[in-house]
Amino acid sequence: MKESHLLVSLLYFFVIFLFTLPYVSSSSSSSSLKHHLCSPADASLLLQFKNHFNVDEYLSSICEDNFSTLEGLIINGGQPIKKLCWDEGSDCCKWEGVTCDASTAHVIALDLSCSNLQGSISTNSTLFQLHHLQTLNLAFNHFSSASLSHVIGGLTGLTHLNLSTTFLSGTIPSEISQLSKLVSLDLSYNFEGNNSSDLLFLHNLTKLEVFSMVGTGLSCTIPRNISAPLRYLDLSLNNIFGSIPESIFQLPKLELLILFRNWELVGSLPKLGWNCNQTLQVLDLSFTNISGELPNSISNLRSLKYFILRESSFSDFIPETIGNLTNLNVMDFEGNEFSGSVPLKISNLNQLTRLDLSNNHFEGEIQDIFSNFQQLTNLHLTGNNFYGRFPSSIVNLTQLEFLDLSENSQIGPLPSVATGLQKLQYLYLYENTLNGTIPPWVFSIPSLVYLKLEQNQFTGSLPEISCKSSLQLVDLSKNQLDGLIPDSISKLLHVEYLFLASNNFSGAIPPSVFCIPSLLNLDLSQNQFTENLPEISCKSSLISVDLSNNQLDGFIPHSISNLLHATVLNFASNNFSGEVATGIFLSIKDLAVLNFQSNHLQGPLDIAICNLTALEFLILKNNKLNGTIPQCLGEHHNLSVLDLGMNNFNWIFPTMFGKGNSLTTIALNGNQLRGPIPRSLVNCSQLEALDLGNNKLEDTFPKWFENLLELQVLVLGSNRLYGPITSFNSTIWFPSLQILDLSCNSFTGVLPKYFFSGFKGMVNVIHESQQEASYLEIQTSGLWSYDISITLMMKGYEIQLEKVLTILATIDLSSNKLEGEIPMLIGNLNALILLNLSHNYLNGSIPHQIGNLTLLESLDISWNQLVGKIPEQITQLTFLEVLNLSQNHLIGHIPRSNQFNTFGNDSYGGNLNLCGFPLSRECNDNNRSSNEHQQHVDELEDKFMSGFTWKAVVIGFCCGMVFGIFMENLMSRTGKPKWLFVTFYGNKIRKIVPRRRRNA
């Protein structure tokens, strides 16, 4: 979090300042104390070096900005810009940034940091001829991505070298190891993308105390043996890999060790040998892959002040010996795999200002041990498995600014009284099971800015707000609060976000809530508010208003026009009635979302709706609107979602959709639309979802849809479409399509062989078990999103999907008049979850390629004329929940494996020649359907037919005709023998069962 980064930044800066102060002091000795003119040779070398560069004023921001690691180590920042006004005739020892030796007048220190220098340092640069240099600081300039010259090794007198943020590239020259007197080396923020350098030169830098290579992009390993008397070692923000060497923890003078954000750095902390235990103050191993447990010997680090292991791979328990680190100011273990309970000895750490154990696997009760943490400003325990009651001693912490116990299993009420927390700014207790009423002190903390108590079990009414508050965000949604919202809610003068959704609030909405001066986002959805929407008596500042899923009724009040700045108005699922009075919205110039779905609005839709030029989402489905859909909506340049489904519209203009429109979703399903499908839909090049189902459209298959390359959902079911489903002209069609519904029409003919080959969106989709659930949705301006919803026949039921998973791939061609075989290419659509080809005239065998649809959950090919055996490959469909092969002409045994053992008789009914479980008809020698038996039958038929000459045919025909006439006459008179009667006439008298159809 930003505030935690800032805190750590300030702490690091203070410590580093103490370490580097002696070096800064020595390098900045005033040249005014020098009484000797500088060496003419040195002056000439300096001028030549300076004149080699351009001065670029645009580089000043490099020094004006704070440069820091992501966790807050401030390297430099806010320094004044140097102007190098060097006068050739003056004493160079008095020049800006130049320091001379008092006795020899040689230049010994050069500080040109933040001088706006731009250019490159070549190998023959005069800089390398200043052999008496002891301190060289060129930080925060721009050396044109040049590499650091190996000649740097000639400046053997250097004790301090700072090249931070000079945009060097290439590799670090090994000649740096010749600088044997170096005490401080800073190469940070350079060498980006370097993947070949190593740190072997550290072995020879026997006097090095300060070493920083923050963010160089260096890819290397850390040397196993480091002998330098390092005090400050920062290798953060690199690509260091391999194991962390134990020798680092044996450096006797080490005070800061920062290895932050080296993801491939592995290893564990040593159990013994912490020789630096008297000096180490900062240990930051965050964002690495260092793992294992914290050893008990960690208690030897008695000087440690900052212990940061954020987002690493540490696990197991925190040892009780952690309580010996009594100098700790910051303990940040967020995002590891620690488990068990928090050790009680942690209460000894009375100097803590920040404790972060969030997002681990801690469990058990949070012990009430916080009375000793009187310096604590940040407490983060979110995202664990803590249970039990809220620890009451927390509310007495007078310095606490940030409290986060969210996403645990805390139970019980909050303390009724809180004497501390007067500095608290953030209170996060969401996603627990806290109950009882919300105590009044929660709204009385003067400094509180963010209050998040959502997803708990708080009950009762809101407390009266007795004083002016600093709150900017209040989220109490998804609780069990009830009663009226008090008028004192208007005392939240600074609140910008007020979320009270998903509770049991009732009665009227207080008008004052719309007039809170700073309120931008109001969510009162999913409550039990009744009566009319109150009059809005002020010019409101609200940007988003969500009153959906209540019981508000009456007409839409004209005062809604006072919501001058609104971009989102969501009044869905209420009882509003009357016509859509478009005029009252015209004053809301920035209105992007207008949602009145599932109300009782009626009458035609006024074309003035198109004057809302910022409108992106128009959602009026499930009302009683009628007449013609205004043509201007298809020419609206900003409109993205047009959802007018489930109304009584009866006409749509064929030329409605103009070129250049932004429509991504068109839902006109469940109306009374007649005529052909509008050809102007080809202009909707951004269209992702089209639902024209359940209308009375009459047309042939719209193969001209092939140009809609972004289309993911196409629903044309339950219309009056006819003719063959023809092939497309191009080789690529519907590459993004995931849902296709052409059911309950009158399509005829054979499915084209390559019809399914273009549906690339149904191939190789990651299954839901391998990814987080996400839904097909359309975003608008970050404030609101629209979930694409459709009605599908799923697993034998018609289901309204309010949200559609991005992995859902379905094909429904049922209840048409399709003929021919099922194309084998359907087996390539291995992301299909639902396939329905039922109630057609399909023939041939079931293609074994259906066994490739390994994600299939529902397969319905019933009521066709399919023949042959059930392919054994279908048993590979281990996700299959619904199978319907009934009312075909399938033969042989039913495969038994995986899901096939769970399907009942209904899955196979009407196939008289099927046998085996679950049917009562057993497979025996007379009806077994193995390959061996079928092959034997075929051989007998071949032998029999080979001897079947024309003479035998004539003799057999004459004899058979005489015998047949006799037997027919006998059976027609007597009806006996019954078995023979059934044999001859049984198929002709079988009851004809009509096919199921949905609304046509």
Angle at 717 between CA 713 and CA 723, to 5 degrees: 110
The answer to whether domain 1-80+90-266 and domain 579-687 are alike in fold is yes
Nearest-angstrom CA–CA distance, 98 and 35 = 14
Rounded to an integer, the average pLDDT of 802-816 is 81
CA 693 to chain centre: 32
Residue showing tokens 């103009």 = 658
Nearest-angstrom CA–CA distance, 964 and 995 = 36
Rounded to an integer, the average pLDDT of 388-399 is 94
The two structure tokens encoding residue 451: 């209050």
Give the architecture (CATH level 2) of 579-687. Alpha-Beta Horseshoe (3.80)
Rounded to an integer, the average pLDDT of 201-230 is 83
Integer-rounded Cα radius of gyration of the chain = 40
Task: State the DSSP H helix or E strand holding residue 985, giving kind and residue range, or none if neither.
Answer: helix 978-989
Residues 29-81: tens digit of each pLDDT: 433 344 457 888 999 999 999 998 888 766 556 676 544 332 333 334 445 67
Q: Give the pLDDT score at 896.
A: 87
Q: Are 436 and 414 in contact, with CB atoms under 8 Å apart? A: yes
Q: Are 709 and 733 in contact, with CB atoms under 8 Å apart? A: no
Nearest-angstrom CA–CA distance, 984 and 962 = 17
Selection from 674, 657, 675, 658 nearest residue 666 by Cα: 657
Name the DSSP letter for residue 189. Answer: S
97-101, 679-683, 939-943: range with lowest mean pLDDT? 939-943
Global pTM reads 0.80
Tell me the sheet residues that pair with 895: none
* Percent of the chain at pLDDT exceeding 70: 81
Give the architecture (CATH level 2) of 727-948. Alpha-Beta Horseshoe (3.80)
> Which positions ≥6 away from 137 have C-beta within 8 Å?
27, 110, 111, 112, 113, 160, 162
The two structure tokens encoding residue 457: 């079990």
With bands split at pLDDT 50, 70 and 90, how would you rate the model's confidence at 390?
very high
Does the CA dihedral 933-935-936-937 come out positive or negative?
Answer: positive
Q: Give the pLDDT score at 995.
A: 35
Is residue 630 pLDDT above 60, yes or no?
A: yes
Domain covering 1-80+90-266, topology? 3.80.10
- One DSSP character per residue, 637-687 reads SS--EEE--SSEEEE--TT-S-TT---SEEE--SS--EESPPGGGGG-TT-
Q: Give the pLDDT score at 67.
A: 43
Nearest-angstrom CA–CA distance, 910 and 929 = 18
Is residue 975 pLDDT above 60, yes or no?
A: no
Amino acid identity at 972: S
In the chain, domain spans: 1-80+90-266, 579-687, 727-948, 958-1000
With bands split at pLDDT 50, 70 and 90, how would you rate the model's confidence at 455?
very high
